[in-house]
Amino acid sequence: MTEVYKIIGREGGPAGRAHSHRDTFPGGPFPSRSPGLLERPALPPQAAADIASYKVFVSGRSAVGKTALVASLGGLQVPSAHHETTGIQTTTVYWPAKLRESSRPLFFKFTFWDCGESVLKKFDHILPACTKKVDGFLLLFSFTDRASFDDLPGQISRVTEGAKAAVRIVVGTKFDQFAHTDVTERDVAAFCHTWGLPVLRAKSVSSPDGCAGLLDVAHLLNGLAEHLWRQDQWAAGLLPPSPGSKDLALPALAGRSADSS
């Protein structure tokens, strides 16, 4: 199930909530609504799955593809043209997993917070609202925009200040637009060596209906789930045996896994 909320920033006061709300259902009696990646199932009590909820702030310069990425992750239609996000938009996505040791099913509930760069600069209360009790950051740059890549160090300092314990993951968008690439793999490797952060890659949506398929986003959701879960285990004093260990059995679609450097 994918739930979308908008929070419109108002000068001189707090943000107003619930200007729009949308649920998406897979098929059935709701033909006018696009299906999300996964509807939360009604499981019997003996098979009920726990839900691990996380707040994730999506950050990046204007036009790098923040709203498009969130729409892709939520199974929603990606906008065909760039429009600056007005205020804050939140999108909730459920993603399944299973603990390897106990085979216990688990649902990750990601609430993605996305806001436009101009609104972020205009209203002082927007950034604190987005980063309050945040569990993770998706820090975006575009492979076709060198300036967005060069701005990553500054973006990390500005956005993640005050949330040092939160997971930080860098996502490079428009990875498939090779003819227009301004960022090389050597650049990405040098960044990873300097900052020690994982870098995931996202392609542009090219399907006729404007929606990304599971194969396009599974590695992103799997990577996010793995890092957030590992952070929780570390915070609880349950460190994994080694940095490369896997605690979760995540959906493996056509051999795709978390793409990190």
Domains in the chain, start-ordered, CATH in brackets? 2-12+49-249 (3.40.50.300)
* Residue 236, C-beta contacts closer than 8 angstroms, at least 6 positions apart: none
More confident residue, 83 or 140: 140
Q: Which of 12-16, 46-50, 63-67, 136-140 has the lowest mean pLDDT?
A: 12-16
Does the pLDDT of residue 197 top 90, yes or no? yes
- Predicted local confidence at residue 261, as pLDDT: 42
**What is the C-alpha to C-alpha distance for residues 119 and 125, in angstroms, rounded to an integer?**
10
The pTM assigned to this predicted structure is 0.77
Mean of the per-residue pLDDT values for the chain?
Answer: 77
How far apart CA 185 and CA 261 sit, in angstroms, is: 9
Q: Which of 95-109, 120-134, 151-165 has the lowest mean pLDDT?
A: 95-109
SS3 101: coil
Q: Cα dihedral sign for 126, 131, 134, 136?
A: positive
- The band of 47, judged by pLDDT with boundaries at 50, 70 and 90, is low
| Among 10-24, 50-64, 118-132, the least confident range | 10-24
In this prediction, residue 39 carries a pLDDT of 54
Report the alpha-carbon angle 165-168-172, nearest 5: 175
Please tell me the chain's helix, strand, coil percentages from 3-state DSSP, rounded to the nearest 5.
Answer: 30, 25, 50
Among 59, 57, 60, 77, which residue's Cα sits nearest to residue 68?
77
For the record, the structure tokens of 142 come out as 């575009």
pLDDT tens for 137-160 read 999 999 999 999 999 999 999 999
All residues at 6 or more sequence positions from 86 whose CB lies less than 8 Å from its CB, including other chains: 6, 8, 9, 116, 119
Report the percentage of the chain scoring pLDDT > 90: 40
